[in-house]
Structure 1
Amino acid sequence: MRRRRRNAVPLVIVIIISLIVLIVSVRLFSSFANNDPDDVVSRFYHYEQEGDFGSAWELFHPVMQERFSKNAYVTERSHIYMSHYGVTTFEYEIVDEDEIQNWKMAEDSETFPTADKMTVEQQFKSKFGNFTILQDVYAVQHEGEWRIVWEY
C-alpha cells in the first residue's frame, strides 16, 4: 500500500496569509500608537536628527507648510545645521509638556481649540563648541492627526 504525500502547498499558503495578517496588524497598531502629540514631535525631531528634513516637513500642519515650501525648508534647515552650526546631527529631548486651550500660532492666525505645547531641547556638538537650543513646539489636530506648528 502506498502512502500519499501531503501536499505542501496548503501549508505555504497558510504561512503566507499568517505573515500578511501579522504585517497588517503591526502597521495598523503602529498608526494608532503614533496618534499622540509627543509622538509626532518625537518623529519630527528624529527625522531632523537623521537629516531627513523632507519627512519632517510632512509632519507640519498645512499652515506651516504654507509658510515654507518643502524645497525651501529642506534647503534652509540643512544649511543651518550643516553649514552654519557645523554639525551633522544632534540630540534632543522633550523637557516639558502642557495642554493649551484656544491657542493661536500668530496674532492674525486661526485659533486651535487645543494645542499641546512641548519644550524641546536640542544639544549640538559643533566646531564652535557645545550648545543647546530650547524651542516651544506645538502639536495640533488636523483631520484626526497631530501636526507640528511653531509660534510666531
Structure 2
Amino acid sequence: MRRRRSLPIPLILLTVGVIIFVIFLFSLFHTSLESEAEALVKSFYQYEQDADFSSSWELFHPQMKEKFDKSNYIQQRNHVFVGHFGTDTFTYTIGKAEELETWKMNKNALTLQGVYKVPITQTFKSTFGTFTIHQDIFVAHEKKKWTILWSYQ
C-alpha cells in the first residue's frame, strides 16, 4: 500500500496566515460607504462653519445646484447666519449614516438609489440666545463622487 502524503503543517499555517493578513489589510484600508458619507457631511459643515459657502456649494448634488445658484447661495447663507441669527459661526455634531434604498428630494424630483441619511445638529450662540437646529442631510453618488442634498418634502 502506498502511503498518502499529507500537506505539511507549516504550509497550511503559512496559507492561513496570508489569508488573515490580506483580510486585515483590506479592513484596514477599506473605508465603508457610511463613513464616506459622514466624511462628506463633515467637510460640508466645516466649510459652512468657516463661512466658505462657495466650497460648501460645490459639494451639492446637481438637484441642489438647480435650487440655488452659487452666488445666491453664498449671499443667502451669510445673510441668514450674520443678519438674522446674529452669529458668525456655530458648532455641529454628525450622527451615524443610515443607508436608504431609494429617496427623493421632493415629490417631483428623480428617485435616487443608495442614498445615505446623516443626521446633524447645529448649535448657534447668537444675540437671541443659544439655539439648536436638527436636520437630516442626504448624501448620494453622482458622477462618481458623493454629493449633498437637503429634503424638501
TM category (shorter chain) comes to 0.7 to 0.9
The separation in 2 between residues aligned to 1:81 and 1:69, in whole angstroms, is: 18
The correspondence of residues 54-69 of structure 1 with structure 2, limited to 5 A, is 54-69=54-69
Does the 8 A contact of 2:136 with 2:150 survive in 1? Answer: yes
Could you tell me the TM-score, scaled by structure 2's length? 0.75
Aligned match of 2:140: 140
User: What letter corresponds to residue 79 of structure 1 in structure 2?
Assistant: H
- Return the alpha-carbon distance in structure 2 between the equivalents of residues 47 and 110 of structure 1: 27
Aligned residue-pair number: 121
Unaligned stretches of 5+ residues in structure 2: 1-30
**Secondary structure of the equivalent of 2:107?**
coil
Deviating 4+ runs (over 4 angstroms): none
| CA distance in 1 between partners of 2:65 and 2:103 (Å) | 18
- What SS does the corresponding residue of 1:36 show, helix, strand or coil? helix
For the residues of structure 1 that align with 2:89 and 2:108, how far apart are their CA atoms?
A: 34
Match of 2:45 in 1: 45
Determine the structure 1 residue equivalent to 2:80: 80
Say which SS state the counterpart of residue 116 (structure 1) adopts.
Answer: strand
Q: Report if aligned partners of 2:49, 2:89 keep a CA contact under 8 Å in 1.
A: yes
The one-letter code matched in structure 1 to 2:60 is F
Cross-structure match for 1:110: 110
Counterpart code for 1:135: Q
Question: In the aligned structure 2, how far is the partner of 1:151 from the partner of 1:130?
Answer: 25
Write the letter of the residue equivalent to 1:98.
E
Structure number, greater radius of gyration: 2
Q: Percent identity?
A: 41
Contact 1:96 1:120 in 2 (8 A): no
Structure 1 unmatched ranges of 5 or more:
1-31
Asked if 1 retains the 8 angstrom alpha-carbon contact of 2:37 and 2:97, the reply is no
SS in 1 for 2:88: coil
Q: Encode CA deviations 1:94-128: one digit per residue, 9 max, x unaligned.
A: 13421101111111111111110011100110011
CA contact under 8 A between 2:94 and 2:119: conserved in structure 1? Answer: yes
Equivalent pair of 1:123/1:132 in contact (CA under 8 Å): yes
Per-residue CA deviations over 1:22-69 (Å, capped at 9, x if unaligned) read xxxxxxxxxx99x81111111000000000001000000011001000
Output the TM-score relative to the length of structure 1: 0.76
- In the alignment, the residues of structure 2 paired with residue 102 and residue 129 of structure 1 have an alpha-carbon distance, to the nearest angstrom, of 38
Q: d(CA) in 2 for partners of 1:95 and 1:82?
A: 26
Is the 2:95–2:119 Cα contact (8 Å) retained in structure 1?
A: yes
